[in-house]
Amino acid sequence: MKRIGIDVGGTNTDAVLIDGSHVVASIKMPTTDDVMSGVVNSIASVLESDPALHRPVDAVMIGTTHFTNAVVERARMERPAVMRIAMPSGASLPPLVDWPDDLRAAIDPLVEMVEGGHEYDGRPLMPMNHAEIREAAMRIRDAGITVIAITALFSPLTDECEREAADILREIIPDARITLSSTIGRIGLLERENVATLNAALQGLGHHTVDSFSRALRAAGVHAPFYITQNDGTVALAAVAAENPVYSFASGPTNSMRGAAFLSKLDDGMVVDVGGTTSDIGCLVGGFPRQANNVVKVGGVRTLFRMPDLLPIGLGGGTIVDANTLKVGPRSVGYRLTQAALVFGGSTLTATDIAVAAGIIEIGDRDRVRHLDRSLIDGVMANIRVLLEDNIDKMKTSAEPIQLIAAGGGAFLVPESLKGCSEVIRIPHAGVANALGAAMAQVSGEVDQVFSGLERDAALAEAEKIARARAVEAGAADDTLRVIEAEDIPIAYIPGKARRVRIRVIGDIDFDRSTSGDASRKAAE
Amino acid sequence: MTRVFEAEEIDPLAIGAWILGTGGGGSPYLAQLNLHELYKQGRRCHLMSPEELDDDDMVAVLSMMGAPLVGQERLVDATHLARSVRAMEEYLDKKFRAVMAVEIGGGNALSPFLAAALLDLPVVDADAMGRAYPEAQMTSFAIGGLKMYPLSMVDCRGIEGFVTRVPSWRWMERVSRAMCTEVGSTAATCKAPRTGAEVKQWGILHTVTQAVGIGRCVSAAQAQHRDPIEALLNHVGGKEIFRGKVTDVDRETTGGFLRGKALINAQVEDGQSPVELCFQNEWIVAFRDGQPLVSTPDLICVLDSVLGEAIGTETIRYGQRVAVVVIPAPEILRSTQGLEYVGPRAFGYDMDYKSVFTA
């Protein structure tokens, strides 16, 4: 099974070619302004060193920061309509109320608030008013808007109102692309609505990006099906991923953690991914990143959905060091490392310079840091150690020592041993762990929903059914699916058997189903 | 004195209220958003010194009641709080002079402001807890033996209800809780009205000013990269009893309350035993080596030792660096009568209250 994994970051585009679990080739090159030529070049580069070129590639997995960048840059988003079905509750806090002004202005949504939604126990808050929704739909149509986010009160408990409203909207706007908040978010109306709105605004970009990648692959002579990596460390068929761009928000660090798990052959432990500007610390549980259970801000917008639990710290290869106070960061020279750092002939003292002076890595011209004082070097290395130890400890869930995997281009900054860690594991190809994480990904389906009025077993079974269906839709082979996470919590303060069930299933890619336009691959097998 | 409550005071009030919530009281975030929206629309609240109340003035005591989870979906709306006040006026056939909070700790610190912004009534600089507590009878008004009825309740659909007569504060808690559950576990309530004389005698005074002051002092220290804990201690005359790292958290939900304990160890091994913090929605007692260090009604606040932000009993977790800070409790809570309602025994701890502030 041959796969190419590509990670398109803001600074670098990394690519790896793997055959089975063997890394055939890897490359790291600067991300190009047009993004796509970087992708074409990186694919060409890894294929060049493929000794088995006659066998075509089976799949390409791409991780991209495109969608997060669009939100951060307030650019390339489409004007959505945002329909909230919760009136008369919540009237004083309309959609997007807590967004940064510039982002709200950038997407300028058409907001419709209508009656309906449910209570925590499944009773309707108010009967849904179909005529009201029809009128709203006509206003949306007249404004020429085709992307719509629908959020109903307590929809993670029952999505009935959202589905009915979507049907009415489709009657009036046949080409509408609709995001239902219940498919993405959790309890927490504003945060769920925020995610649904971002998703709707990004769908156009999602399709555009997927089309561009598709063209880039063809230009590179690759005709395999391709997938986009997701926040949870799995992939979805590109066409499915284009519908849900928010699921790709955190795929960079997630891929890095998955790659680290793959390279270290470790399923549980801590990963520190040291980049140029910052490091991300995360936990691996069963080979996947631990999920955050709290509000995560994206571009200043509060969101609550499945994102990896990451602790970013201001430590990277380009982190600026103060020679007087020995203070490390948090400022960084970032992508200017190869001009600004002392070892590259620049004039800024960086963490990389200290590491070169300490003799733990050879980069640039070591002579340029020979003048650095031993006490300065030792002092800064000690500060880096404390910074790592403190933050790793914050991410632990118990006092037990853990195994730490050092990943990323700046992994050399991680000392050989750290307090609270039973060992520090170094991995080969650490610089392209993210592309590797993409290449080896599987497909998942998940559900995080409140079920009420069902016995526990029935609720779990229903949840698993939904999760499996979602995995198959995303491209998984049904017969390979297994449950990797199942959790259920009865909800406090609420009578009537309400329980929140969270189930995640994972399985292999169904290649039979996804081989569109790839007759040659079959022939070669 | 009655003065305009400025827009710049909203965030400090929310920060201070969250700290005075002593681990509970619910997040002020949505109420804070609402108040900002009302101010953007040109509404303004006025803050009134309790001393300015005439003895026979009527004061409305407000809170949002219900389950926090429901509050995350059915978002708080000033209209319903305002309506609960008007409904009570209609029932009593009397006009209120002002509104006030039942608890200054947590989101309900902002409830009277939301109503006031729509009603053109001032907010009295006072509450009935000086902190947060989980139940209706844990107020200075209950301690003072004041009348516990009537209560008005309003939900977003225009459902309005009254509890017109009950024999005790505990019955008020039970009956109003049942009504609240029926309308979806969230409702605006106007509690038993108070006279100006009652507020002045039994209310806990100047707590809005105290909360804003705490919020400002912590924010200023953060902005100037000073130690926010030290700034807070100086500001409130508090005591830091421990600084360390959370090494274990054990929670369970029983009888509608979040109970449990958190263990805090010294960050650097110094031979000191860990501190065990027990909670029931709020922080209640702290022990070391089985001996109580501090207990309710003293205000036990757990703060992020770097940022100075309050950490709630729902969100405390392993690895956090925290400072355990004690703020003096209002005198009424420390009285013999007060301790019956809010002392350690009221929470099932068989021990006497001893303030950390009496040597």
ipTM of this predicted structure: 0.90
CB-closest option in B34, B73, B315 to A153: B73
Residue A525 reports pLDDT greater than 50: no
**pLDDT at residue number B269:** 67
Contact A495 B181 (CB under 8 A): yes
B73 touches chain A (CB under 8 A): yes
pLDDT exceeds cutoff 60 at B333: yes
Q: What is the pLDDT of residues B60-95, one digit of tens each?
A: 999 999 877 788 999 999 999 999 999 999 999 999
What are the pLDDT digits (tens) for A124-144? 999 999 999 999 999 999 999
Asked if B314 is an interface residue toward chain A (Cβ–Cβ < 8 A), one would say no
For A256-297, write each residue's pLDDT tens digit. Answer: 888 888 889 898 999 999 888 888 899 998 888 888 877 888
CB A26, CB A435: distance < 8 Å: yes
CB A175 within 8 A of CB A143: no
8-state DSSP, A476: B
Q: Which helix (H) or strand (E) holds B58?
A: strand B58-66
What is the set of domains in chain B, with CATH numbers? 2-205 (3.40.1610.10), 226-347 (2.40.390.10)
Spell out a b/e string for A129-152, using b for 16 or more CB atoms within 10 Å of the CB, else e: eeebbeebbeebbeeebbbbbbbb
Q: Is B247 on the interface with A (CB under 8 A)?
A: yes
- Per the prediction, chain A carries an average pLDDT of 88
Whole-number pLDDT of residue A524: 34
HEC secondary structure over A392-403: HHHHCCCCCCEE
Domain limits of chain A? 76-203, 312-428, 443-507
| pLDDT score at B206 | 97
Q: Is the peptide bond before A94 cis (omega within 30 degrees of 0)?
A: no
Alpha helices in A143-181 (DSSP H): 160-172
Closest partner CB to A189 (pick from B38, B72, B181): B72
Asked if omega into A109 is within 30° of 0 (cis), the reply is: no
Please give the DSSP secondary-structure letter assigned to residue B80.
Answer: H
3 state SS of B147: coil
- pLDDT by residue (tens digit) across A159-200? 899 999 999 999 999 999 999 999 888 889 999 999 999 999
Report helix angle A36-48 to A189-219, nearest 10.
60
Q: Does A133 touch chain B (CB under 8 A)?
A: no
Greatest alpha-carbon pair distance for chain B in Å reads 65
| Residue A325 to residues A320, A348, A363, Cα–Cα distance (Å) | 12, 15, 25
CA distance A29 to A16: 12
CB atoms under 10 Å from CB of B91, counted, come to 15
Q: Is the pLDDT of residue A496 over 80?
A: no
Q: Which amino acid type is present at position B261?
A: K
Q: For the residues B43-52, what does the mean pLDDT come to?
A: 98
The contacts found for B287-295 with CB under 8 angstroms, 24 or more apart, are B292/B344, B292/B349, B292/B351, B292/B354, B293/B241, B293/B242, B293/B356, B294/B241, B294/B326, B294/B356, B295/B343, B295/B344, B295/B349, B295/B351, B295/B353, B295/B354
The tokens of A83 are what?
């329909």
A494 touches chain B (CB under 8 A): yes
A516: confidence class by pLDDT, cuts 50, 70, 90: very low
Both structure tokens of A292: 């955050």
Indicate yes or no: CB of A187 within 8 angstroms of CB of B253.
no
User: Looking at beta carbons, which residues of chain A come within 8 Å of B37?
Assistant: 92-93, 97
User: Which phi and psi angles does B282 have, rounded to 5°?
Assistant: -110, 165
Alpha carbon distance A422, A439 (integer Å):
29
Mean pLDDT of chain B: 93
Confidence of residue A521 (pLDDT cuts 50, 70, 90): very low
Place of tokens 């679990």: A21
CB contacts, 8 Å: A189 with chain B: 72-75
Nearest CB to A187; choose among B72, B78, B247: B72
Q: Which residues in chain A are closer than 8 Å to B315, comparing Cβ atoms? A: 294
- pLDDT, mean of residues B89-114: 97
Tell me which chain B residues have a C-beta less than 8 angstroms from the C-beta of A492. Answer: 67, 69, 253, 256, 258
- Partners of A125 on chain B (C-beta within 8 Å) are 74, 156-157, 184
Give the rounded distance of the alpha carbon of A319 from its chain centre: 24
Beta carbons of B191 and B84 less than 8 angstroms apart: no
* Torsion-angle region of A500 (φ positive above 0: left; ψ -120 to 50: alpha; else: beta): beta
Segment 81-110 of chain B within 8 Å of chain A by CB: none
Query: Is B320 near chain A, with CB under 8 Å?
Result: yes
Q: Is B350 on the interface with A (CB under 8 A)?
A: no
Q: What is the pLDDT of residue B76?
A: 96
Neighbours of A266 (CB within 10 A): 18
Do residues A438 and A235 touch, judged by C-beta distance below 8 A?
yes
Q: For residue A319, what are the contacts with CB-CB under 8 A and spacing of at least 6?
A: A277, A328, A329, A330, A331, A332, A350, A351
Q: Residue A523: pLDDT band by 50, 70, 90 thresholds? A: very low
Residue B258 sits at the chain A interface (C-beta within 8 Å): yes
Fold of A76-203: Rossmann fold (3.40.50)
Percent of all residues in chain B with a pLDDT value above 90, rounded to a whole number: 78
- Nearest chain B residue to A293, by CA: B315
Task: Decide if A93 and B77 are in contact by the 8 Å CB cutoff.
Answer: yes
- pLDDT cut 90: percent of chain A above it: 52
Of B72, B158, B245, the CB nearest to A188: B72
Q: What are the phi and psi torsion angles at B144 (to 5°)? A: -80, 0
Per-residue b/e over A270-307, b at no fewer than 16 CB within 10 Å?
A: bbbbbbbbbbbbbbbbebbbbbbeeebebbebbbbbbb
Q: How confident is the model at residue B204 (pLDDT cuts 50, 70, 90)?
A: very high
| Closest CA in chain B for residue A91 | B77
Residue A522 binned pLDDT confidence (cut-offs 50, 70, 90) = very low
Contact A271, A282 (CB under 8 A): yes
**A294, closest residue in chain B (CA to CA):** B315
Which run of H or of E encompasses A435?
A: helix A433-439
Alpha-carbon torsion (A270, A433, A409, A364), positive or negative: positive
Residues A163, A182: Cα–Cα separation, whole Å: 10
- pLDDT score for A491: 61
Chain A: closest CA distance from residue B201 (Å) = 35
Q: Measured between alpha carbons, how far is A103 from A126 in angstroms, rounded to an integer?
A: 32
By Cβ distance, the residue of A120, A190, A294 closest to B70 is A120
- Give the range among A326-330, A373-377, B18-22 with minimum mean pLDDT: A326-330
The answer to whether residue B30 neighbours chain A at the CB level (below 8 Å) is yes
B318 to chain A nearest CA, in Å?
Answer: 6
Closest by CA position to A422, among listed A400, A445, A402? A402
What span, in angstroms and rounded, lies between the C-alpha atoms of B103 and B126? 9
